[in-house]
Structures are given as structure tokens and as C-alpha cells.
Amino acid sequence: MKIEECVKKLENQIKEDKDFLWNHPEKGNEEFETCKYITKRLKQMGYIVKDNIGTTGILAEISGVQEGPCVLFRSELDALEMDNNGRMKHTCGHDAHMTILLGLAKLIIENKHKLKGTIKLVFEPAEETTGGSKMMINMGILENPKVDYVFGVHVWSELKKGTFGIKSGAVMASTDPFNITVYGKGGHGALPEKCVDPIYIASLITTNLQAIVGRNINPKEVATIAITSIHGGNSNNLIPEKVEMKGICRTYNNEIRDYVKLRINEISSNIAKSMNGIAKVNFKEDSYPAVINNKEITEIIKEIAYNIIEKKDIITDYSTMCSDDMAYFLEERPGTFVFIGCTDEQYYPQHSENFCVDIDTILNGTQFLYEIVKKMNFI
């Protein structure tokens, strides 16, 4: 990876930004200290900044002296809520993304006199929960001036440090959490014939939902369905009235997404009915769609990457069943979401308490975004 001197000179500031953000994790829509810190830093650089958009969203904007496209770069603000005690950790890498974008902001402002068009830097709240990108889009951040292209990066533990995942098409899955409530008829465990056992019905539903992927979906397509929670009853000898189930399904294709949700409803309802019970399925509204990179723009980004990264270090076939609300930006405008490898000798998965991004990876991300800015005729 070729790191320019102008990027290397940012290392001390990058360490300072990373240290603050790592040590001040805040949950979605409550990133008040984070918002205050980033807003202050951007204003010190000379940006026009709108903060507290919706809740804590930030939009920084700068326009050059020459005409050109309007490009948006995006980061997240929130940390991950790890437990019921509200203990927060930046174990997804959002602290690194913010630091990368602040580094990019400094490089852009230093070259303002050569800038063509407009650059928008967006810091969105609550990516891990409610999804701040859709809220900010609805509040008009893609307009005035109209954004032409959108870009984002995600530090990624499944890729080795020094590598980049750059792929066109679907790179992250849609996510659809759902709840199933199974209603039966409670009674004594010694008299099961007098009851309608919702636990037994729930077990049949759990088993049969797995057949959707194996028997209803074309093997060339990708989908996952997981039942992640089953709760019912509290006694050794009583059959309960109902069982609460939780699960999630993920796909890369909107048609498959709709079909999987339909089949979950049909299978759950029909199995329960066949056992004289009732199953009601509810899907979470406004769940994230798949992250789909624009083919033409992604090919351009690959060519840009080849200037600073060896071809062997650009992974062009990587995708994951994890999700991200960057999907909403890419539904509205063409662009690319890139994975930045961050695993060195020891692998820790995303959301692990031991997950942390080092400064070298942040420098790699900063250089990469700066290269996009330069090569796409903005500077």
C-alpha cells in the first residue's frame, strides 16, 4: 500500500482523533459528545457544518472554485451496545470510520484551491439500530446541491490488513428480523391430549423454516434464516398457552427477500393450523435492504485502487451476509461500499470485545479515499 507523505503527516492527529472516539462510545441517537467533537474539528478546518440533523447527524460541505460533480462520503457515529448494563464499545469499527473521514477532510481542505465540484461528508447516527442514513436522506442531504455519487468504507475483520474488498453488485445482505407468536391451549403435562402444545408447534416451525433455503430457493441465490430465540412456559408440568419466537432472514435479492418473508408466514401459519394452534408472524418495519454497489462506478474504483494497492491485495469476489444501512444511500445514488481489511496476526470478529482497529489500517483507509478524491477529478 502506497501511503503519501501528506497522509503520513496526519498520523499524530489521527491517533488523537481515534483515541478520543474509542474512549467516548455512545449508542445510537445519543452520540452527543461524538457529534460535538466532530463538529468542532470540522469547523476548525473551515467546513460549513450542519450538526444535530434529526438527532446527532452531521453534514459538512465544501465547494471548489470550478464546476464538477457532487460527491458524498459517509461514516457512522454510534458504538455497539454490548450488554443490558448499557456498556458501550466501538467493536464494529465506527471509530475508525470517523477518524478516516476526519483525515480525508483535512486533506481536502488543504487542496481546496484545486477542488472541482462539491464534497459532502456525512456522519450518520444509529447505524447499529434504527438506521440514520434513511432519516438523513429524508431530511434532504442528497440535495442542494444534488449528490452524484456516494462512497463509504468499512474496516473488516474477515479480510487481512493491507487488502481491500471491492466488488460490484450485492456485497452485504438485507436484514429482516421477525417475531412469531404461537398460540395454543395450555394445560397439565399429564394430559397433553387436552392441550394444544405451542412448544411442539414452535419446534416444528423451527425445523421446517430451514427447508425454505434448501428447497424453495434456487441454489444460485443466497439466503439465510435463523431462529435465534424461543421462550414459552415456566413450569415442569404445565403446557403454556403461547410461545414467543424471534428470528432473522437475510438475502441479496429483493425478489428472493419478499418470497422468503412470504414463505415464513405461510409455513408458520399452516403448521400451527394443522396442529389446531395459531401462529402470527410480524416483521420489523424499515429493515435494511441489501448493499448493492453500482457496477460502472465500482469498476472505476478498482482501477483507482490499482494505483496504490497491488492487484493481489484487491479482493473482487468478497461479500458477506452482514448488513449495513449504507444500502439506503446506494439505492438513491450510484456508488461503492468498500471493505478495508484490518486483521493482522490475531483474528477477532466484528462485535467481539477484543476487536480494535490499528492506526496503519486507518492510514490505509484515508489514503484510499483520498485517491478517489484525486482521481475522480475533484483535486
Determine the structural domain holding residue 147 and report its residue range. 5-173+289-375
For the stretch 236-275, pLDDT in tens is 999 999 999 999 999 999 999 999 999 999 999 999 999 9
User: Residue 285: its pLDDT value, please?
Assistant: 87
Residue 219, pLDDT > 70, answer yes
Residues 191 and 253 in one domain: yes
Residue at a domain's end among 244, 268, 283: 283
Residues 74 and 211 in one domain: no
Residue 128, pLDDT > 80, answer yes
pLDDT range class, residue 378, cuts 50, 70, 90: confident
For the stretch 358-376, pLDDT in tens is 999 999 999 999 999 998 7
Q: What is the mean pLDDT of residues 24-29?
A: 95
User: Residue 84: its pLDDT value, please?
Assistant: 65
Residues 152 and 243 in one domain: no
- Residue 245 main-chain phi, psi, to 5 deg: -120, 145
User: Residue 379: its pLDDT value, please?
Assistant: 64
Residues 300 and 240 in one domain: no
Residues 161 and 46 in one domain: yes
Residues 47 and 162 in one domain: yes
Q: What is the DSSP string of 5-72?
A: HHHHTTHHHHHHHHHHHHHS---TT--HHHHHHHHHHHHHHT-EEEEEETTTEEEEEEE-SEEEEEEE
Domain count across the chain: 2
Residue 335, pLDDT > 90, answer yes
Residues 278 and 293 in one domain: no
User: Residue 147: its pLDDT value, please?
Assistant: 97
Residue 377, pLDDT > 70, answer no
Flag the least confident range among 31-40, 59-68, 290-299.
59-68
pLDDT range class, residue 83, cuts 50, 70, 90: low
The structure's pTM equals 0.94
For the stretch 84-124, pLDDT in tens is 676 789 999 999 999 999 999 999 999 999 999 999 999 99
Any idea what the CATH number is for the domain that residue 200 is in?
Answer: 3.30.70.360
pLDDT range class, residue 292, cuts 50, 70, 90: very high
Residues 165 and 181 in one domain: no
Q: 191 to each of 187, 278, 338, how far by Cα in Å? A: 7, 20, 58
Element (H, E) at 138: helix 132-138
- Residue 220 main-chain phi, psi, to 5 deg: -75, -15
Residue 211, pLDDT > 80, answer yes
Residue 29, pLDDT > 70, answer yes
Residue at a domain's end among 245, 263, 283: 283
